[in-house]
Structure 1
Amino acid sequence: MTENNLRRFYQLLQHFNIKQAYSVNLEQLETILSTSRRNTTIILKNLHQLSWIQWQPSKGRGRSSQLTLCVSWYDVLFQVIHYELNLDRFTLITKLINTYDATVIEALTEAKQQAQFQVCSNQLLIAQYPYLQTLDPVKTIRSAELQVIKSIYDTLLTQDKTGQLQPGIAHTWESKENVLTLWLRKNIVTHHGRILTMDDVIWSLNRLRHEDGPIRHLCESIVDIKADGPYCLTITLKSANVFFPYVLASTNTSIMCQSKELQKIGTGPFKIKKWDKEQLILEQHREYFGVNALIEKITLLHGEREIHHSLSFNQASAQSETTEINSFSYLTFNYRKDRRLSPQTLSQLYQYLAVKKYQFDAERAVDSLTLQSSTPAVGHLSCPQLVGEIVIAEPHWTIPHLQTMSGWLHRTISETGLTLKVVELVDISHPETMHDKADLMLIEEVIEQPQEYGLYEWLSISTGLKFTFSPAEMKQHKQYLNAAIGTDKAFLNLKRIEEQLLANGRYLPLFIGKEVLTSTQEVQGIQINHSGYADFHQLWIK
């Protein structure tokens, strides 16, 4: 059952109906299949042996052959997928989804229910999971990678649904001025069977301080990390920071084991069994110190688009559920001195977009990081007449509602008379590389909880601010942040910094985020948290 047989059968389906006999000759079929007579004969023989067609070659010159297509396209896909699943092979399935999409998903659902893959082994297959470039928590801010990282590593502290801190690897902690003390659990078993050590923890935290990564600034305030005994850890900061314990609950600060196999050894509810260009296989970590995962194995097939089977994110269907998450889209404005585009032009565009967003989606439009909305009472809004070229940098959007929002923004900017140029933000971890190339940056980011910490984190490491600030401005901004958190009115001080960014036209909040989740009936326990993640270890198969 090769890919070639599928492709050839699909070609025939474009010209012949199922269960209907046709009188044909080889010349016709050569044209339909776009191949030689010899290959045409071989193809028809192979499809006949698979019982997908009935083929009766002509006997004698001038006589027609008889061709009947015996099965539907769905039946063919089901046979192939069922066969591949039972052999624990996924490459062809991934290619089929990329090529034929919806019908393959439907066939895959039924095949999974009958194949040994799922029913006998308590396994979950997630097709078309985005390709994973890294599983190093220090190096990534991609949600697809962080979702997996969350399943294979643990953090010193965790957060509950309300954002309050809870024990993780550390069972107890306390803060006194600029010193945070944590007491670690004993006998935590790693994925390769040894006990997690204090050296592993200190090594992981030092990587956050010294290696380039998206949250490095949050850890730059660390002065010293040391062990006060085998299970007591002290972290000394440059100054008191009430928000720092929340940093240790971030997925990016996950604890790894020192190993030559960097990015693979953790202590989380799942461990990596296999990882290559085609798939990632996660297995239940049976000696996990927390609540064990309910599924024994999860296979993530890498694909080109963010479409998942059984867990399908951001793909609408009759069974879809939409969940609001604590993320928002926003623009940052870069007033480049070497540009012909005047500050007045950018200011007029800012004011226009600030109102137009409510006409596009009033329910989801927001005014600040608190994700609150105050719809302006505006009658007729005149469109400013602007002149010049404006460059906007943004990621390649794969989620439908973000594609729609981006399209609206492009049209709205263009209607002012500005010539719009769009450049792709390829390296989202280093947006500062676009500072001299773009006037605007469009981004969507998660706002962590609780709200006070979320504001602090966003002001510290957000993609948009890294883009819009020059090195001198970023240095000054960090000084403002350090001064703001050194008082008992830290949250109020941080809000004032955000208000100043708004008043100066440096950033414009747009819309609150959402997650669309589609699941097949056999997958249970799916919950989207406020960051947009679904915890794999809470899933179970009915």
Structure 2
Amino acid sequence: MMENDMIQYLQLYQHLNAERESGFTCTVTVAELAQLLCCTPRNVKLIIRRLEAHGWIVWQPGRGRGNSSRLQFLSSNGDMLDERVQHLLHRDKVKDALDLVSTFEGEEHVRERLSQRINIYLGLHQEREESSRQDVLRIVRYRPLGQLDTVRAFSAFEIFLMRHIFDTLVAYESKTENFIPKLAHLWESNTDQTAWTFYLRKGIRFHDGRLLTSRDVLATLERVKQRGENIGWLYRDIAGIELHDDYSFTFKLKRPNTMFLHLLSNINMAIVSEHEQEEIAINGTGPFRVSELNASKMSLTAFDGYYGYRPILDRVDIWFLSQEGGSHRLYHMLAGTDEEEMEQSNSRQLTQPALGGRYLLFNMRMPGVQHDIHFRRAIRLLYDRQTMQEELQGDRTSPASSFLPWKSAQQTIPRHSLEEARQQLAESSYTGETLILSFTHKKEDRLEAEWIQRRAAAIGLHLELDAKEDRLLIGGHIALAVEVLEDDWEWDLINFFSNEVNHLHRLLDTEQLRVLHTMLYDVMRHERADREHILEQMERKLQEEHWLLLGNHINQRAYFNRSLSGLHLDSFGFPNLSTMWIRDTSTMAGTIAKSEKTVANT
């Protein structure tokens, strides 16, 4: 009933108070209200009584049948929307609250307040159940959820989720640069490393309760080769798997592969059930299982049957907002109050340098002046890394000459002027046409795109900005993209140069890709030093030809409530959900107070 009353109040307010005046009073008849609310005069009187009882209006009825009455609105449009949003959130109707904010056409400060209200709710809280509690993390995500398919992993967030839902045979440990057991507790190889035998842990179950066996490993490899058309060539050295029993098997390789364990630790080889090989169900062996999934919300629940340490968090709710400008990740706890000041004071920012960075990439699959190397050089000079970092700052940490920050630090990156860019543009075939610069709907990306647009205008280059909602920046002449590498950066660079669904492969032409693939083809037969040399040559080729222009290295930023403990960030800047827990501040405060009292008595 409360929700319906709010809707009816807003209907009257918006129809009768066109100027949105505070404390507005108007004269109106019951018949007119009945027409506005699409109900009978008798129901109008009932509605008026309820609105008065809520304290939202003052009603002075007119004397005599059909005479005008006086109606005063006590709550503003923004206040009523705020109250309605709170009411929806209290009933866990987050989707309705999001829709309400997205359709609001009033003042921007009201929209920001309503959005902040939702952000506060979408934090981390504790649900009390008698003597126990349920620890729930709520994450705000400002992009739609992509496909959670292990063989088609593309964006960092989906990989982050799948690493909590699925598991691999082994895992790469960045601190030691070694591999550690996961689903397999032991492995061994022959002398020339063309036969690798693995031994599965016993008793591991999928989220649907079925036991993991070696048949699932065989089915996973077949699925990678059959359905992973974009990454299948990486596994071409695997001739097949020989199953010995339910818990042991041997990979047979056609030739030695120095990166074989890297292949097995990648999310593409996360083990899936042999019964789910077509359109995969999200059914893994990881610490969290999917308990709810729709377009606006995803819930992960701790898997009590996990073979490792059961997560301390009980549930993770992820809400997907189609809101422009949201770029920071929010991991909060609702600590008994929803005041904005309290929420902000309880938060702390955590930053972590990322491997990779932003870059510009030319679309060589569409006609245009971007095929002219003089034009691409002009953009290189225009896209000055030193000046950009100084003027924009934000998450930018240092100019990049490689995807790897330590390699960039070894080189002196020159500063370029707009006059140099203007001279190169004059030597190109550019004739004043408007070109399109595509970028993703993120705050820092938009700031950078607008910065490029302003500098382009200063040298007579016309750029039109095209903010994309989807992940692939196709359709423009130039794309502003970002690449963040995992801890196993060597593997991830190889994947960047070879994965056919990323920006590089969608925008470079066939001949350019052939050059890169030729350089990369035998990289996994070499030892590490030679592999690094090949990857350096590929980066150099991209930059010498100005196919790809590196910008700045970046920091990953997230905001955490101070009551969150056990924070360990991955290479993408996302927290390990399995180790996070909520420090009960109320209990802790009581313990401290009790301790202080004891000391005082002593």
Settle same-fold status: TM greater than 0.5.
Answer: yes
Aligned partner of 1:289 among 307, 322, 333: 307
* 2:70 partner letter: S
Q: Percent identity?
A: 19
CA distance in 2, matches of 1:537, 1:480: 39
Contact 2:365–2:507 under 8 Å retained in 1: no
Contact 1:74 1:107 in 2 (8 A): no
| Match of residue 471 from structure 1 | 510
Q: For structure 1, which segment, 42-51 or 235-244, has the greater mean C-alpha deviation from structure 2 after superposition?
A: 42-51
Please state if 1:300 is matched with 2:318.
Answer: yes
Write the letter of the residue equivalent to 2:451.
Answer: W
Residue 95 of structure 2 aligns with which residue?
91
2:357 match: secondary structure: strand
Q: Secondary structure at the match of 1:417?
A: coil
The whole-number CA distance in structure 2 between the counterparts of 1:42 and 1:148 is: 53
**Letter of the 2:182 counterpart:** G
User: What is the CA-CA distance between 1:207 and the residue it aligns to?
Assistant: 1.6
Q: 1: CA distance between counterparts of 2:292 and 2:48?
A: 38
The number of residues matched between the two structures is 525
* CA–CA separation in structure 1 for the residues paired with 2:359 and 2:240: 36
CA-to-partner distance for each residue in 1:204-257, whole Å, 9 max, x for gaps? 222222214553342344332332433233333444332332232223332222
- After superposition, give the CA deviation of every residue in 1:318-358 in whole Å (9 maximum; x if it has no partner): 7433332223112233557964566243343244145x221
Residues 126 and 135 in structure 2, CA contact (< 8 A), matched pair in contact too: no
Q: Which position in structure 2 is the counterpart of 1:256?
A: 272
Residue equivalent to 2:331: 311
Check the 8 A contact 1:200/1:256 in 2, yes or no: yes
What is the alpha-carbon root mean square deviation over aligned residues? Answer: 4.0
* 1:417 correspondence with 2:460: yes
Secondary structure at 2:265 match in 1 = coil
Corresponding residue number in structure 1 for 2:404: 370
In 2: Cα distance, 1:375 partner to 1:518 partner: 34
- Number of the residue aligned with 2:186: 172
Report the AA paired with residue 272 of structure 2.
M
1:515-534 alignment to 2 at 5 Å?
515-534=556-575
Residue 500 of structure 1: aligned partner = 541
Q: Deviations over 1:235-288 (max 9, x none)?
A: 334443323322322233322223458232111111112222332222110010
SS of equivalent to 1:2? helix
Compared CA separation, residues 512 and 303, structure 1 to 2 (3 A): same
Whole-angstrom CA distance in 2 between matches of 1:379 and 1:304: 38
Cα 1:350–1:155 shift into 2, 3 Å: same
1-structure distance, mates of 2:217, 2:551: 39
Distance verdict in 2 for CA 1:112–1:209, change over 3 Å: closer
Which residue is 2:232 aligned to?
216
- The DSSP-based 3-state class of the residue aligned with 2:387 is helix
The one-letter amino acid paired with 2:251 is: I
Match of 1:60 among 51, 60, 63: 63
- 1:101 deviates by 4.8
CA distance in 2, matches of 1:258, 1:46: 63
The corresponding residue for 2:117 is 106
Q: Rate the CA distance shift 1:337–1:131 in 2: closer, same or farther, 3 A.
A: closer
Paired residue type of 2:114: T
| DSSP-derived class of the 2:354 partner | strand
Displacement of 1:35 after TM fit? 6.6
Does structure 2 retain, via aligned residues, the 8 Å contact 1:526–1:539? yes
Name the amino acid aligned to 2:526. T
Contact 1:5 1:46 in 2 (8 A): no
CA deviation profile, 1:508-532 (whole Å, cap 9, x unmatched): 2112233221234444434332223
Higher Rg: 2
Structure 2 SS opposite 1:256? coil
SS of the equivalent of 2:493 reads: helix
Contact in 2 for aligned 1:81/1:107 (Cα 8 Å): no
CA distance in 1, matches of 2:484, 2:125: 39
**Is 1:193 matched with 2:209?**
yes
Whole-Å separation in 1 of the counterparts to 2:31 and 2:330: 39
* CA distance in 1 between partners of 2:90 and 2:281 (Å): 33
Q: Aligned partners of 1:458, 1:350: CA distance in 2, in Å?
A: 23
Question: Within 2, Cα distance between the matches of 1:6 and 1:523?
Answer: 37
Letter in 2 for 1:125: R
Matched letter for residue 278 of structure 1: S
Q: Is the 8 A contact 2:5 2:50 kept in 1?
A: no
Q: Any gaps of 5 or more consecutive residues in structure 2?
A: 105-110, 333-342, 391-396, 584-602
Structure 1 residues 47 and 127: alpha-carbon distance in aligned structure 2, compared to 1, 3 A threshold: farther
> Contact conserved, 1:164 with 1:450, CA < 8 A, in 2?
no
Give the match's secondary structure for 2:150.
Answer: coil
Over 3 Å counting, the alpha-carbon distance change for 1:272 and 1:367 in structure 2 is same
Query: What is the alpha-carbon distance in structure 1 between the residues aligned to residue 557 and residue 310 of structure 2?
Result: 27
Alignment of 1:44-443 (within 5 A): 45=48, 48=51, 51-60=54-63, 64-65=69-70, 67=72, 69=74, 72-73=79-80, 76-77=83-84, 80-81=87-88, 83-85=90-92, 89-96=93-100, 98=102, 99=104, 100-103=111-114, 105-106=116-117, 109=120, 116=127, 120-128=133-141, 130-162=143-175, 164-174=178-188, 176-212=192-228, 214-259=230-275, 262-305=280-323, 311=331, 319=347, 320-333=349-362, 339=368, 343-353=372-382, 356-361=384-389, 363-371=397-405, 372-373=408-409, 374-378=411-415, 381-382=418-419, 383-385=421-423, 386=425, 387-388=430-431, 389=433, 391-392=435-436, 394-395=438-439, 397-421=440-464, 428=471, 439-443=477-481
